[in-house]
């Protein structure tokens, strides 16, 4: 567990270094913050205030020191420290991600079981195409289609905005298809794996109902590989959230990143990227915890 | 399309005669037969070939000129007649500048597919070479490369890509570069695990005993055995790349006008969602069909290039409780 924690820290540190490299060496922070039509004098003046004429190693030291204090500098757009702005947006993103998982996960488990019970049957082939379809859909396009149908044509839901169930349902549906497709594929192969094991024959020979065999025997054990995927899925979900939040005007971290990019607000951009990384790393740690809880072999090794 | 390419790889794994296969059938014929058996995959493969053909020969197959604007024909619905009296109507309608949507889609395919294939191939070359080195030489190099893979796996990939594109500025080649840099780990990881098991095989040992230099063992003996799983991965990655490019372009940091890709078309059509549904429907539908076809073909190829599972596709029988994909 301590090793996992150290690994997470390494990931965050490397990302911080990559961000520094990209913004300070590939690009020039002063030019990145100013409009493209800014004069050379303006650029030089800003470089002086930001201390960009100091040796690179000194800049890097300052950058890392500020980072550890959670200080990304003031947002150029809102004129207040960048990090609190980002932190304010986290609940909205988590809310959307939570509802998305509530849709995707049960659906994926059901689809996975249906196809695993009879491999290569018609139902299985149908599920395969549906889950591959989920993986192959551009989530923002699905969002556009949902807006077109339910908001524009039928007028049942608002096209965008933040609020209760009728606001969250369309973005969550659009976001749910990809994780649903991926999880159902893993559920399927994990279930098929479990069901070919000898203990399944034992369970059936004992005269247990097929339902008990599938749900309390196979599903329980097949769950472990599904969980390993969850950490990966968190990253996919947050990737999708950037696009979906932008499409639906959902006030989360994702849309904030895009707005910050549009306004050339470098401190805010850096704060958003690092915050999203911290979220992903945290989910991965939680998954590892749950993993060791579910599978005693991992706990004791 | 990947089936014919992977034929030489299959020759190595072919001599499994207890699978019920006819003893010596040419691999290409086996694949053709397996493809005919599976109608869904057959249809996907045909669609992909058609799509690539249309992208390559867009000027020949498209009914209109891609830049031909017409103020009278702005946002016209599908099947609107040509204002110049041409025989072919605007089958999928026209866009916000009066350009033919079908033509735009065919030209958009050029960029979307180019980014998809180039991105997948570039990241593949980097990942496969590093994976080969890590798996074959083990030790210190392996540690470093795999540490790098694990670390980058934890990055928020789309956000990193957005940041880099913001700094470098948008454009097709930069998108390809960014996609390659964010996805190489997938190849490295799989290549390494395959090499780890292959390097212990007798034929590698034999080659080494005969005094084969390392690069020859790697590229002449080990590499051919990796070809089919890596081609399957490449096919899947093309789909991922096309979808990511669409997202980047939709967010305004990918392909820029006057160039056009499917994702950019969706971004531009979004403003007209209330009045012109076709502008936001068809580009996304094409993305879905292309990515789905790539996924279906890859799933099929994974099962068929593996001699153990291949027979099921040929016999059409249904075994009870065992399956191919892992």
The Cα of B181 is separated from the nearest Cα of chain A by a number of Å equal to 12
| Secondary structure class of B100 (helix, strand, coil) | strand
- Lowest-confidence segment of A251-255, A256-260, A261-265, B183-187 by average pLDDT: A261-265
Distance of CA A65 to the CA centre of its chain: 27
Spatial separation of the C-alpha atoms in residues A14 and A64, rounded to whole Å: 11
Separation of alpha carbons A255 and A93, rounded Å: 10
B154 and A243 within 8 Å at the Cβ level: the answer is: no
Residue-wise pLDDT for B29-42, tens only, equals 777 777 777 778 88
Interface contact flag, B156 A140, Cβ < 8 Å: no
* Span B258-270, average pLDDT: 86
Distance set, CA A175 to CA A75, A239, B30, B44, B245 (Å): 29, 10, 40, 25, 17
Q: Does the structure show a pLDDT above 50 at A263? A: yes
Residues of A in contact with B295 (CB under 8 A): 132, 135-136
Euclidean distance between CA atoms B252 and A169, whole angstroms:
25
Give residue-wise pLDDT tens across range B120-176.
Answer: 999 999 999 999 888 888 888 888 888 888 888 878 888 888 888 888 888 889 899
Q: Does B273 touch chain A (CB under 8 A)?
A: yes
Question: Residue B8 and residue B231: Cα distance in Å, rounded?
Answer: 12
CB within 8 Å: A243 and B281: no
Sign of the Cα torsion B235, B237, B240, B244 reads negative
Q: Two tokens at A101?
A: 């998982």
Using 50, 70 and 90 to split pLDDT, how confident is the model at B310? low
B296-309 pLDDT tens trace = 888 888 888 776 66
The phi, psi pair for B94, rounded to 5°, reads -125, 160
| pLDDT above 60 (res B21) | no
For A93, residues 6+ apart whose C-beta sits below 8 A from its C-beta are A238, A241, A245, A252, A253, A254, A279
Return the pLDDT at B121: 93
With bands split at pLDDT 50, 70 and 90, how would you rate the model's confidence at B23? low
Give pLDDT tens digits for A186-237: 888 888 877 777 877 788 888 777 777 777 777 777 777 777 777 777 778 8
Q: What is the pLDDT of residue B150?
A: 83
Q: What band does B117 get if pLDDT is binned at 50, 70 and 90?
A: very high
The CA distance from A266 to A257, in Å, is 10
Whether chain A has a CB inside 8 Å of the CB on B25: the answer is no
Question: What tens digit of pLDDT does each residue of A85-95 get?
Answer: 888 888 999 89
Average pLDDT over residues A81-88: 84
From residue B210, alpha-carbon distances to A203, B198, B219 in Å are: 53, 17, 16
Q: How far is CA B94 from CA A238, B59, B112, B317, in A?
A: 34, 18, 20, 48
- Of B280, B288, B323, nearest to A136 by CB-CB distance is B288
Cα separation, B54 vs B105, whole angstroms? 10
Q: Cα B47 to the chain's mean position, in Å? A: 14
Other beta carbons within 10 angstroms of residue B87's beta carbon come to 7
* Distance (Å) of CA B105 to CA A206, B51, B54, B100, B280: 60, 10, 10, 9, 12
Chain A hits for B283, Cβ within 8 Å:
141
Q: How far, in Å, CA of A65 to CA of A42, rounded?
A: 27
Residue with tokens 């965050």: A12
Mutate to test the interface with B, among A132, A142, A234 (most CBs of B within 10 A): A132
How far apart CA B144 and CA B128 sit, in angstroms, is: 15
Q: Which two tokens stand for residue A70?
A: 């959670």
Identify the pLDDT of residue B252.
86
Highest average pLDDT, of B7-16, B159-168, B315-324, comes from B159-168
Interface check for B183 against chain A (CB to CB < 8 A): the answer is no
pLDDT at B291: 92
Contact call for B318 and A119, based on CB within 8 A: yes
Q: What is the pLDDT of residue B324?
A: 41
Burial class for A152, CB neighbours closer than 10 Å (0-12, 13-18, 19+): middle
Cα separation, B106 vs B75, in Å, equals 18
pTM > 0.80: yes or no: yes
Q: In sequence order, which residues have a C-beta less than 8 Å from that of residue A9 and are 6 or more positions away?
A: none
Residue A181: burial class (beta carbons within 10 Å; 0-12, 13-18, 19+): buried
What's chain A's average pLDDT? 82
Residue in B with minimal Cα distance to A147: B273
A15, A26, A189 member nearest B325 (Cβ): A189
Q: Residue B9: which pLDDT band, with cuts at 50, 70 and 90?
A: very low
A277 and B247 in contact by Cβ < 8 A?
no
Q: Which residues contact A105 (CB under 8 A, 6 or more apart)?
A: A179, A180, A183
d(CA B56, CA B320) in angstroms, rounded, equals: 44
What value does the mean pLDDT of chain B take? 79
Q: A99 phi and psi, to 5 degrees?
A: -60, -40
Q: Are A194 and A220 in contact (CB under 8 A)?
A: no
CA distance B321 to A76: 60
**pLDDT band at A59, cuts 50/70/90?**
confident
- Listing DSSP states for B118-156 in one string gives HHHHHHHHHHHHHHHHHHHH-HHHHHHHHHHHHHHHTS-
The CA distance from A214 to A117, in Å, is 8
**Contacts of A203 by beta carbon, 8 Å cutoff, 6+ apart:** A212, A213, A217
Q: Which band of pLDDT confidence, cut at 50, 70 and 90, is reported for residue B62?
A: confident
pLDDT tens per residue across span B228-239: 888 888 988 999
Please identify among residues 66-125 of chain B the ones whose CB lies closer than 8 Å to any CB of chain A.
none
pLDDT digits (tens, 9 = 90+) for A125-174: 888 888 888 888 888 899 999 888 888 778 787 777 777 777 888 899 89
């Amino acid at each position: 567990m301590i090793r996992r924690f150290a690994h997470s820290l390494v990931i965050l540190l490397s990302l911080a270094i990559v961000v520094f490299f990209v913004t300070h060496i590939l690009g020039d922070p002063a030019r990145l913050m100013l409009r493209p039509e800014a004069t050379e004098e303006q650029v030089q003046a800003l470089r002086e205030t930001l201390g960009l004429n100091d040796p690179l190693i000194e800049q890097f030291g300052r950058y890392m020191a500020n980072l550890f204090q959670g200080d990304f500098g003031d947002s150029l757009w809102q004129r207040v420290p960048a990090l609190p702005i980002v932190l304010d947006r986290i609940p909205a993103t988590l809310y959307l991600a939570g509802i998305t998982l509530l849709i995707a996960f049960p659906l994926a488990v059901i689809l996975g079981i249906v196809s695993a019970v009879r491999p290569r049957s018609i139902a299985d082939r149908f599920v395969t195409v549906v889950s591959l379809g989920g993986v192959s859909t551009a989530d923002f396009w699905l969002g556009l289609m949902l807006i077109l149908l339910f908001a524009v044509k039928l007028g049942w839901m608002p096209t965008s905005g933040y609020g209760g169930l009728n606001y969250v349902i369309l973005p969550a549906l659009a976001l749910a298809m990809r994780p649903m497709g991926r999880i159902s594929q893993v559920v399927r192969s994990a279930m098929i794996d479990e069901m070919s094991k000898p203990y399944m024959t034992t369970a059936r020979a004992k005269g247990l109902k097929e339902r008990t065999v599938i749900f309390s025997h196979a599903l329980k054990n097949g769950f472990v590989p599904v969980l390993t995927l969850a950490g990966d899925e968190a990253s996919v979900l947050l990737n999708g959230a950037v696009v979906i939040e932008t499409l639906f005007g959902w006030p989360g971290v994702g849309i904030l990143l895009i707005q910050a990019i549009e306004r050339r607000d470098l401190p805010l951009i850096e704060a958003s990227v690092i915050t999203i990384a911290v979220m992903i790393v945290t989910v991965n740690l939680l998954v590892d915890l749950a993993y060791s809880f579910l599978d005693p072999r991992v706990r004791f090794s | 399309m990947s089936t014919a390419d992977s034929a030489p790889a299959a020759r190595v794994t072919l001599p499994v005669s207890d699978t019920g296969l006819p003893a010596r059938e040419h691999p290409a014929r086996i694949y053709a037969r397996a493809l005919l058996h599976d109608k869904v995959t057959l249809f996907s493969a045909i669609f992909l070939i058609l799509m690539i053909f249309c992208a390559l020969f867009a000027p020949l197959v498209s009914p209109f000129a891609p830049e031909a604007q017409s103020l009278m024909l702005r946002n016209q619905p599908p099947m609107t007649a040509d204002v110049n009296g041409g025989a072919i109507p605007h089958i999928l309608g026209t866009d916000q500048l009066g350009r033919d949507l079908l033509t735009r889609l065919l030209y958009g395919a050029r960029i979307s597919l180019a980014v998809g294939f180039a991105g997948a191939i570039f990241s593949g070359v980097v990942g496969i070479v590093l994976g080969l080195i890590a798996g074959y030489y083990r030790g210190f190099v392996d540690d470093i490369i795999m540490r790098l893979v694990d670390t980058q796996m934890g990055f928020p990939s789309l956000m990193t890509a957005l940041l880099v594109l913001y700094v470098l500025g948008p454009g097709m080649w930069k998108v390809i570069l960014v996609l390659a840099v964010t996805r190489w780990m997938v190849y490295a990881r799989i290549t390494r695990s395959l090499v780890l098991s292959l390097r212990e095989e007798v034929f590698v040992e034999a080659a080494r005993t005969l005094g084969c230099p390392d690069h020859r063992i790697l590229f002449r003996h080990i590499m051919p055995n990796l070809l089919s799983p890596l081609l399957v991965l490449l096919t899947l990655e093309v789909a991922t790349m096309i979808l990511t490019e669409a997202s980047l372009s939709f967010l305004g940091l990918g392909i820029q006008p006057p160039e056009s890709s499917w994702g950019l078309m969706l971004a531009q059509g979004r403003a007209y969602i209330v009045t012109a549904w076709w502008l936001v429907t068809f580009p996304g539908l094409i993305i879905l069909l292309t990515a789905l076809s790539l996924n279906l073909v890859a799933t099929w190829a994974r099962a068929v290039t593996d001699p153990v599972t291949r027979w099921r596709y040929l016999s059409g029988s249904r075994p009870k409780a065992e399956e191919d994909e892992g």
